[in-house]
Amino acid sequence: MKTINVERLVHHGMDRIALRFRYDSELIGIVRTLPGARWSSQMRYWHIDDRPDAFESIKQAFLGKAVLEFEKSCQANRAVTERVTADKEAGLDEKVKLSAGGLVSELSEKGRADIEKYRKWMESNRYPESTVKTYSAMVATFLKFVSPKEAEECTSGDLVRIVDEYILPNGLSRSYQNQMISAVKKFYGRVYKSVIDIGEISRPRPEHKLPNVLSKAEVKRILDSVANEKHRVMLSMVYGCGLRRSEVLELLPSDIDHDRKLLQIRQAKGFKDRLVPLSDKMIHMLDQYILHYKPEKYLFGGQVKGSRYSPSSLEKIFRTAFLKAGINKKDITLHGLRHSYATHLLEAGTDLRYIQVLLGHKSSRTTEIYTHVTVHSIEKIRSPFDDL
């Protein structure tokens, strides 16, 4: 049978999974169906998105067609990668992209029923789709960890154990740990009416990280590096209106109020609506985009008619533009454009209370973090060294 070598690697700064095999038109046809499949003519291999469900997708795609040989780079982190990978994006403090499907299928029939009951409860209470997926997968991870125990047999000690034996050894973040505790707490509170005493579980001390911010010149370099009009407009909306990724992708053409020069953000984080001002430049850019692309349901539609644009694709657009712009800063994500919007408004003298409203922050404490990164405030500080 044909053989395919599978290896996790970094390709042009992106985490990818390489597939190496002798030329075969049938295998090539299968590879093309995998998410983000690309051919590297220089390296002579196919590579796909390194997603939480990537290995499962590869196995299913080539079942009965080829033998898969996984390199050590895949084996070492395979269990963790199939469970969780962090993506700093708005929605949850640190949204966790998880594929619950593979984990749930490994649970007992009772465990699968518990997860389904939990998922339906969240959906009936109108939790965002991202939260439903995240919390379902978190609880699936917990139940897989404690197996063969069933959920009703667990104690608070099991939640302490998953922190000590799974989360900490694998270097998962404080945010991931908090989300695990929150997901399990909600699961037991709603499905089992608090069989576990979550009050015994201590949460990690919060981190106080400053947001990573770009200068106006750097933002311009990023936007100027994007040739595709649709891609450029989406990135411009994140920066020009301070939107979260999910908010951009949920926009409808009717959300643009030309008369009042406002953009309506519907049911954003916390199920809140808000209005954001649109500059003349932004309105002109949107008008040109609508004229050329003629969007139907969503302002930024996906490949399938009536669908939204893919969140991961928008992240990749930013990453590609960021690298092309040659900016030498670490840990800058798409959400950094929103951070930069807030910081630049503050530097221009906009009142912090207005910025809180524009960003849709529930608490002013969230917005106050931008006071720590404004250049103007820092430049006014005189070092005592100058008086020596």
For residue 368, the model assigns a pLDDT of: 56
For residue 354, the domain's CATH number is: 1.10.443.10
Segments of the chain scoring below 50 in pLDDT: 76-102, 373, 375, 378-388
| Domain identity same for 193 and 226 | no
For residue 246, the model assigns a pLDDT of: 86
The tokens for 154 are 């667990």
For residue 94, the model assigns a pLDDT of: 36
In a domain, 297, yes or no: yes
Q: Which of 53, 59, 51, 49 is CA-nearest to residue 16?
A: 49
Taking the C-alpha atoms of residue 258 and residue 263, their distance in angstroms, rounded to an integer, is 9
| Domain identity same for 223 and 336 | yes
- Chain centre to alpha carbon of residue 377: 31
In a domain, 388, yes or no: no
Q: Which of 88, 14, 50 is CA-nearest to residue 244?
A: 88
| pTM of the predicted protein model | 0.54
For residue 273, the model assigns a pLDDT of: 78
Taking the C-alpha atoms of residue 254 and residue 296, their distance in angstroms, rounded to an integer, is 10
CB 3, CB 15: distance < 8 Å:
no
Last residue of a domain, one of 54, 81, 108: 81
For residue 378, the model assigns a pLDDT of: 42
End-to-end CA distance of the chain: 77
| Domain identity same for 75 and 100 | no
For residue 42, the model assigns a pLDDT of: 76
| Domain identity same for 92 and 170 | yes
| Domain identity same for 9 and 76 | yes
| Domain identity same for 254 and 368 | yes
In a domain, 149, yes or no: yes
CB 247, CB 339: distance < 8 Å:
no
In a domain, 59, yes or no: yes
| Domain identity same for 345 and 282 | yes
For residue 80, the model assigns a pLDDT of: 39
- What is the extent of the structural domain holding 18? 2-81
Give the H/E segment covering residue 352: helix 352-359
| Domain identity same for 114 and 184 | yes
CB 38, CB 47: distance < 8 Å:
yes
The tokens for 76 are 């070492």
The tokens for 363 are 């608490």
In a domain, 96, yes or no: yes
Q: What are phi and psi of 118, to 5 degrees?
A: -65, -45
* E-only strand ranges, the chain: 2-11, 14-20, 38-40, 45-49, 66-70, 85-86, 96-97, 256-257, 262-265, 274-277
| Domain identity same for 278 and 325 | yes
Active-site positions read 244, 269, 335, 338, 361, 370
In a domain, 384, yes or no: no
| Domain identity same for 111 and 170 | yes
| Domain identity same for 125 and 171 | yes
For residue 114, the domain's CATH number is: 1.10.150
Last residue of a domain, one of 22, 51, 81: 81
In a domain, 29, yes or no: yes
Question: How many domains are there within the chain?
Answer: 3
DSSP string computed for 275-338: EEE--HHHHHHHHHHHHHH---SSSSB-SSTTPBPPHHHHHHHHHHHHHHHT---SS--THHHH
In a domain, 205, yes or no: no
b/e code 50-76 from CB counts within 10 Å (16+ = b): bbbbbbebbeebbeeebebebeeebee
Taking the C-alpha atoms of residue 287 and residue 301, their distance in angstroms, rounded to an integer, is 16
- Chain centre to alpha carbon of residue 150: 31
| Domain identity same for 179 and 290 | no
Last residue of a domain, one of 200, 226, 247: 200
For residue 230, the model assigns a pLDDT of: 94
Taking the C-alpha atoms of residue 282 and residue 49, their distance in angstroms, rounded to an integer, is 33
Taking the C-alpha atoms of residue 127 and residue 125, their distance in angstroms, rounded to an integer, is 6
CB 180, CB 142: distance < 8 Å:
yes
Over the stretch 75-95, which tens digit does the pLDDT of each residue have?
A: 544 443 444 433 333 333 333
What is the helix, strand, coil percentage profile of the chain, to 5?
Answer: 50, 10, 35
